[in-house]
Structure 1
Amino acid sequence: MTRKYRRLFNIQQGFSAVEMTLITPILLLILMAIFELTLVLQAKIVLLNVSREGASLVSRTSSYSEEDVMDIIANAANPLDLFSDGTIFINVVTLEDADKSPYVSRQVKWVNSGLNAESTVWDNCSNWVIESNVNTCDLPDREEDVAIDNFPLELLEGESVYVVEVFYRYSAFSSFIFDNEFIMNERTYL
């Protein structure tokens, strides 16, 4: 190799090193973003599956209390830790009269929850009562006080539906995409 070609080869090696130095941090940031978004999607899918399983269990079994169902689905929420960063609500929404709005006839909040969140179905419970290890909302006597105006399902007269809500406080792996924690939730009607 002549001296001219050696010099050209050394210059090209220098350019490659500079290019790699500039590109590597960008590639690492992209990889971190992909990793973080993958964790968020995984958490969202786990919450969806847990809420579906909870609705399925509570609607078809009478051998478990609502608290038992919430404990079962919280234990099945791996890798999410609902005991320290989550809460679960089971709501029973009923329509007695077709001329009126559906109303919450029963609302139960998970006793072992590690997150203080409000139900998105009906969030006006002012008094929670724990009896036999079940945290039940002390609902007002009048249906109008627990009515739900924007209920997304159309119920038939005399019909009830279970609504299972699962909330989870997501803490970001890094602060690259998400600066702080945020609450994720899923809801299943059955």
Structure 2
Amino acid sequence: MKIYTKTGDAGETSLYGGERLPKDSTRIEAYGSVDELNSVLGVVRSLVPSSGLREDAGRRLDGILHLLQRHLFAVGADLAAPASHEKKPLDVPRIAEENVAALEALIDELDAELPPLRTFILPGGIAAASHLHLARTVCRRAERLVVSVNRSEGSTAAIMKYLNRLSDLLFVMARWANHTAEVDEEKWSA
């Protein structure tokens, strides 16, 4: 399979199933942001071994990140093969309620190990945590784009819920990484 097809040279791309869309359409922007988020999580994974985390904490963080990357491929596939556009169902992974529940369980598990948050904190700390904060902001952008797709086309409610919960998890993961590495959070003050 060739990497280049030349079919996108005029500014259009294909959804799974063949439908053509402009590359600057909201749907394409949405799954492009999901792809960017997945890449940022890959950067975080590469930073984990040198991040100052205990070995067991590093393995735990890497395992969660790997799971999230697999989920994000399903989100991208779901966006690239919208159910509302199908004449016949395509065999594409879809984000479901159990994926959201898995994120909620991780949030609760990691947050239980953290001191209570009583004020805003500045993004930062160890490199892995700083990049998790970056991932959170990319996730929020992807979520906003998916909201726009949902408003105009419908069928992305599960993805919206997943991305909303994922951004919360990324925030908790950043705090957890800093806490586990014994790096104090910088509290925001005006």
Shared fold (TM-score greater than 0.5)? no
> More relative contact order in 1 or in 2 (CA 8 Å, sep 6+)?
2
Larger radius of gyration: 1
**Which structure carries more helix by proportion?**
2
TM-score, with length taken from structure 2: 0.29
